[in-house]
């Protein structure tokens, strides 16, 4: 059951879809992603857009992510509160790079490569967190390598797509409740880690009915992950002295574990409208199929140890943005965007691993073209969670019920460089 509870925290994490990547995306709060198609980052956002690039190109980006995740409440075991703190800031700093490249074989045929991390999260509560029996560290990473080809079918219609090679990894820890023994010897800590390699695919269409308007549709398939790993329990030495029976029981929790889960498919609809020669309006709607994940089966030693049920809903992102190239500053492009994301986790299902609040996104950025071949980008994205009602969550009966509310916000500072050749 302990392994099931640890994996369950990850399964609730429908909100571990990352909103980072190319500085160009953050600057517009992800508006117009599948329709902009003016640099190599389209190899990720809509491979069909590669046909709009007249030269080969490489884009490199790096994102500094700062998150704040706090909790206010208590954990009750048998009606009695667990001693401890509110856990401090479970967020922190992370750095994520990204890469896109396009090779222009002919004016109508392009090949692309992309490396991004579309899913991931890290939260780390203090060791004396009142909810430590529910969660301590939750670290999730997902690296996707995309290979794509695009072809212009007609002057107004292009298609693109290709395979995705995916590596998913997770590390989840929590304290183990040993009752009165914990006050004397301290809490044992269970640490579960596992990873998986899998394959998916990517498809896109770009429609350009006029020089001033284009629309794009991008679809990234769901990816089935077969996570395999190990669970280990760090047992305080004093427990072995005071209660050898308890220490022996805890040592049996050291085991290999396996769980199957699916990363959701994602559909993005975008439009770009050239209002004036210097001004472009952008819009996007993105659907992520988190509702497909309603059950998690955990096995150990080849036998089913637990089946967990969930109530994820599909998530939606709506965003609007604008790009401006002032006539007086032809080397510059200034960007802004506003977005709203309705997350997949309902209030009653929020957990300390990933609270998953609904978000407002505000983005700004700028690009400066040093030459026709070299450009640099900078962007800033602020994400803040909307007010959350109090809820109660229990991973297992011995972990108690964590009752309270969460506050979530994030800041992403991005830098990028484009090289055309």
Number of domains in the chain: 1
> The whole model's pTM is what?
0.90
Of 53, 102, 37, 55, the C-alpha closest to 421 is: 55
- Is residue 136 a contact partner of residue 176, using CB atoms and an 8 Å limit? no
Residue 111 sits in a domain whose CATH number is 2.40.160.60
pLDDT, block means (10 residues), the chain with 421 residues: 49 56 94 97 97 96 92 90 93 92 97 93 92 92 96 98 96 91 90 94 97 97 91 91 90 87 93 96 96 75 65 91 95 97 80 81 96 96 81 80 88 96 94
pLDDT of residue 177: 92
Q: How many CB atoms lie within 10 A of CB 237?
A: 10
C-alpha span between 265 and 263 (Å, rounded):
7
Domain hosting 407: range is 2-420
């Amino acid at each position: 059951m302990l392994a099931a509870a640890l994996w369950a925290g990850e399964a609730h994490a429908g909100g571990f879809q990352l909103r980072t990547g190319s500085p160009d995306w953050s600057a517009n709060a992800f508006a117009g992603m599948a329709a902009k198609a003016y640099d190599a980052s389209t190899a990720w956002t809509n491979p069909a857009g590669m046909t709009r690039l007249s030269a080969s190109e490489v884009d490199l980006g790096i994102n500094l992510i700062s998150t704040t995740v706090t909790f206010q409440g208590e954990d009750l075991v048998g009606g009695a509160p667990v001693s401890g703190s509110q856990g401090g800031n479970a967020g922190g700093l992370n750095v994520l790079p990204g890469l896109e490249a396009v090779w222009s074989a002919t004016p109508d045929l392009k090949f692309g490569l992309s490396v991004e991390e579309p899913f991931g999260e890290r939260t780390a509560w203090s060791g004396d967190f009142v909810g430590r029996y529910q969660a301590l560290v939750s670290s999730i990473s997902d690296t996707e390598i995309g290979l794509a080809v695009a072809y212009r079918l007609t002057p107004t219609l292009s298609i693109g797509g290709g395979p995705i090679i995916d590596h998913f990894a997770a590390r989840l820890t929590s304290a183990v409740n040993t009752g009165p023994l914990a006050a004397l010897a301290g809490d044992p800590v269970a640490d579960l880690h596992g990873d998986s390699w899998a394959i998916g695919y990517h498809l896109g269409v770009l429609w350009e009915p006029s020089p001033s308007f284009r629309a794009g549709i991008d679809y990234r398939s769901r990816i089935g992950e077969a996570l395999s790993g190990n669970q280990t329990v760090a047992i305080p030495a004093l427990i072995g002295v005071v209660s050898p029976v308890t220490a022996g029981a805890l040592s049996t929790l050291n085991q290999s574990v396996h769980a199957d889960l699916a990363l959701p498919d994602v559909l993005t609809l975008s439009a770009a409208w050239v209002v004036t020669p210097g001004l472009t309006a952008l819009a996007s709607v993105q659907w992520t199929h988190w509702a497909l994940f309603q059950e998690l089966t955990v096995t150990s030693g080849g036998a089913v140890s637990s089946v967990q049920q969930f109530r994820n809903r599909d998530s939606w992102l709506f965003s609007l943005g604008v790009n401006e190239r002032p006539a007086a500053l032809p080397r510059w492009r200034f960007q802004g965007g506003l977005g709203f994301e309705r997350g997949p986790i309902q209030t009653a299902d929020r957990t300390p691993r990933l609270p998953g609040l609904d978000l407002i996104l505000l983005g700004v950025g700028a690009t400066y073209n040093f030459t026709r071949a070299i450009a640099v980008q900078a962007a800033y994205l602020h994400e803040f969670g909307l007010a959350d009602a109090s809820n109660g969550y229990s991973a297992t009966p011995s972990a108690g019920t964590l009752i309270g509310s969460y506050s979530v916000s994030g800041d992403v500072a991005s830098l990028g460089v484009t090289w055309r050749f």
